[in-house]
Structure 1
């Protein structure tokens, strides 16, 4: 759900390396805030 939400906000990890790095960092942060471990 976090991953899809970031896509809905315009992030594209498949064609933009900067977006990929930002997206991964945001996913880790958001998942951690909900008590989930780093998926990467």
Structure 2
């Protein structure tokens, strides 16, 4: 099941806010996207 558009927009905003602050951005992206997808599915 694909996440809703609103979820993707929230994720994009969160990533945009943190993109220059976190050296481990790739892992943050994975964690946050997994959380969002789990919340949508749950």
Q: With structure 1 as the length reference, what TM-score do the two structures score? A: 0.49
Higher-Rg member (1/2): 2
Instruction: Name which structure has the greater RCO, CA cutoff 8 Å, separation 6+.
Output: 2
